[in-house]
Amino acid sequence: MKINTLLLATLLSTSMSLASDTNPSTVSEMTVKQEGIKYIKMLGGALKEELQIHMKADKTGLGAMGFCTAQAESITKEVNSKFPEYALVRRTALKARNQANAADDLDKKIMKEYEASIVAKTFLPADIKVVQDGETTRIYKPLVTKGVCLKCHGMDISTEIQEVIKTHYPKDQAHGFELGSLRGMIVAEIKKHP
Which positions touch ligand HEC (CB under 6 A)?
61, 64-65, 68-69, 72-73, 91-93, 96-98, 101, 143, 146, 148-149, 151-153, 174, 183-184
By C-beta, is 73 or 163 nearer to ligand HEC? 73
Q: Under 8 Å CB-to-CB from 169, ≥6 apart: which residues? A: 69, 97, 98, 99
- What is the closest distance, in whole angstroms, from the C-beta atom of residue 15 to ligand HEC in the complex? 26
Report how far apart, in Å, the C-alpha atoms of 7 and of each of 15, 42, 126, 168 are.
12, 22, 19, 47
By C-beta, is 87 or 96 nearer to ligand HEC? 96
By C-beta, is 17 or 91 nearer to ligand HEC? 91
Q: Contact at 8 Å (CB) between 36 and 139?
A: yes
- What is the closest distance, in whole angstroms, from the C-beta atom of residue 176 to ligand HEC in the complex? 12
At 184, give phi and psi (nearest 5°).
170, -155
- What is the closest distance, in whole angstroms, from the C-beta atom of residue 51 to ligand HEC in the complex? 6
- What is the closest distance, in whole angstroms, from the C-beta atom of residue 62 to ligand HEC in the complex? 8
Query: In whole angstroms, what is the distance from residue 114 CA to residue 116 CA?
Result: 5
Q: Contact at 8 Å (CB) between 114 and 182?
A: yes
Q: Contact at 8 Å (CB) between 96 and 173?
A: yes
By C-beta, is 26 or 181 nearer to ligand HEC? 181
